[in-house]
Amino acid sequence: MPRKTKQDDNGKRLTTQQSVNQAVKNICDIMRRSNCAGAMQYVPELSWILFLRILDEQETKEAEEYEAVGQIFTFSLESPYRWHDWAAPPDEEYCRQHRFDHNVQGWQRFKLTGQGELNQFKTWINGKLLPHLKKLKKQKNATTRQKVISEVMSSVERVRIDTDRNLLEILDKVHELSLDTVDETHIFPLSQVYEGLLLKMGEKGNDGGQFFTPREIIRVMVQVLDPKIGETVYDPACGTGGFLAQAFEYMAGKDEQGNLYTNIKSPKDIEVLKQWTFYGREKDDIVYPIALANLVLHRIDAPHLWHGNTLTDEAIYTGLFENAPAVYDVILTNPPFGGKESREVKKRFGTGATQVLFLKHALNHLNENAGQCGIVLDEGLLFRTNEKEFVNTKRLLLNECEVWCIVSLPGGVFTAAGAGVKTNLVFFTKGQPTDKIWYYDLSHLKIGKRNPLTVEQFADFLKRLPLRQDSDYSWTIDFTERKRQVKAQAEPFKKEAEAKKKSADKKREQLKKLKAAKTRNSKKIETLTIDLKQLDKEVRELNTKAQDIENAIYDLKAVNPNAKDETDTRTPAELLDFLEEKGKEVAEILARLK
């Protein structure tokens, strides 16, 4: 075991949320003055630094546990590449006296900086440390952790911090963010602090909103699906890993004091939860390693993330996704809004609309035996019935799955993340067709940056959900009955179209014979041709009318039948009289004030 020194004391204990937030803010302030001006620059940089810090601390604790039972623990990183060696603050006096003791904390850092020269440190990190960490996954018999380390570092080309002095100050402050110094019994754990950093990425103007779902939305969706230990959870567009991290906390269980693992019944439960439960895919090179770091900070030892384009199956790295199941018990996802894939994808799937393609992907990867899905969809996908693939995908969804709940979210939920689209939460279970859909309307809420959506605003929804109770904001659609009605409405047009088609077929046969006759009757041929074109046109129009009627059932937009009509019915003359009267009132008030 490494030798303990006085520097192993990780600093003062952080016992309030404010103290933890301030500690993180101090780190970010240094980064902002050190060539990382915005959140999209300093969050990725802090991610890998914080990841290596927590990883080393976790493995140190594991080594102590192994030593206590007489076993040898093998660290994922060898000397001098452990945080303990190159990043942790050294006891300089001891290091000077024992220069060859590689067990002492910070020995490699002291070797590079102890003589007062601060130009070797970043050079060693960029030239030695980063290349070593990146190639770990390629070594023979690489462990899952070593693969995770390489992938977390995959987008780090060099240290972004401008000077060695600033970097060392950052490392010292990150070292203080220890699992020992952050009092998790009274405040949020360190993982929640990291969530706050990801929120900064998701703010408008930081270009990270496309990867971030408001945590209130995530918590509600996880609670609604209620995943259990033993079930697999998958997010095909995982972004920073919010759905998977929240699902882990929910499945592990927490008491009112914040203690984790209250749902754990046996050591096997912990192993299953940490090793074989969470799977995801992410395309973006910068966000993918952030997701890995986020999941590890949430205590998920084996985050099975696939790096590449989910929709085209073009992979960048699949080493953490080996032996992943073909289908999943629970899918939680918020696919990108309004995106478009390439022409090749459109040719292959019939559309390039990303949300349609992700919905199809979810349908294909959901366990047929009552697999559950919660997905965020923009309103356009729900109500559009004028595009073939939109209709076909929703038809497939309703035929193969029971869509049992749609929540209409208020406008502005994603505005802070740079997306102003109207959105809905759609929940469904695979295995049987949709019979009834229960809707809940939150669109009346006024949401913005200063008054964000809160979990408390879902309280009535969560209370009514188990029994699908109707109210001023909730109602039920009998989809089976609606299909029956639509079929009855479309049937007359289909019958008329069929009759006209038969008539057209007869005329087509007559025309064929007239054209084949030795003596051509040009006038009759011309008349018959005109009649045939008119019949064909009428058949197409009738079939289109029938199709439009049938397609209308796939408009799933939430329209609250209980909403009060607030339309102003006053005539122009009445409005002018009202304005004139108000004008007189204002004039009287001004006269009194004078």
The pLDDT tens digits of the residues spanning 91-134 come to 888 888 877 677 889 999 998 987 666 678 999 999 999 999 99
The pLDDT of residue 369 is: 93
Spelled out in words, what is the top-level CATH class assigned to the domain 222-469?
alpha beta
Question: 449-498 pLDDT, tens per residue?
Answer: 778 888 999 999 999 999 999 999 999 999 999 999 999 999 999 999 99
* Beta bridge partner(s), residue 164: none
- Estimate to the nearest angstrom the gap between the alpha carbon of 434 and the chain centroid: 26
Rounded distance between C-alpha atoms, residue 61 and residue 483, angstroms? 61
Q: How many CB atoms lie within 10 A of CB 527?
A: 12
What average pLDDT does the segment 217-243 reach? 95
Element (H, E) at 66: helix 39-68
Alpha helices in 310-366 (DSSP H): 343-349, 354-364
Q: Give the torsion through C-alpha atoms of 210, 397, 387, 541, to 10 deg.
A: -170
* Residue 7 vs residue 534, higher pLDDT: 534
Helix 164-176 crosses helix 39-68 at what angle (to 10 degrees)?
A: 50
Tokens 């990303």 -> residue:
354
The pLDDT of residue 200 is: 65
- Estimate to the nearest angstrom the gap between the alpha carbon of 218 and the chain centroid: 8
Tokens 């294909």 -> residue:
364
Burial 100-116 (b: 16+ CB within 10 A, else e): eeeebbbbbbbbbbeee
What average pLDDT does the segment 175-204 reach? 60
DSSP for 168-219, please give it: HHHHHHHHH--TTTB-TTTS--HHHHHHHHHHHHHSTTTT-GGG---HHHHH
Half-sphere exposure of 108 (CA within 13 A, CB side): 18
Rounded distance between C-alpha atoms, residue 109 and residue 137, angstroms? 25
Rounded distance between C-alpha atoms, residue 212 and residue 241, angstroms? 9
Residue 194, pLDDT > 70, answer no
Contact 201, 240 (CB under 8 A): yes
Question: 9-21 pLDDT, tens per residue?
Answer: 455 666 566 777 7
**Is 1-187 a CATH 3.20.20.70 domain?**
no
Largest Cα separation within the chain, whole Å, is 118
Average per-residue pLDDT for the chain: 87
Residue 207, pLDDT > 60, answer no
Q: How confident is the model at residue 422 (pLDDT cuts 50, 70, 90)?
A: confident
pTM of the entire predicted model: 0.85
Residue 189, pLDDT > 60, answer no
Q: C-alpha angle with apex 261: 259 to 264, nearest 5 degrees?
A: 150
The pLDDT of residue 577 is: 82
Element (H, E) at 402: strand 401-408
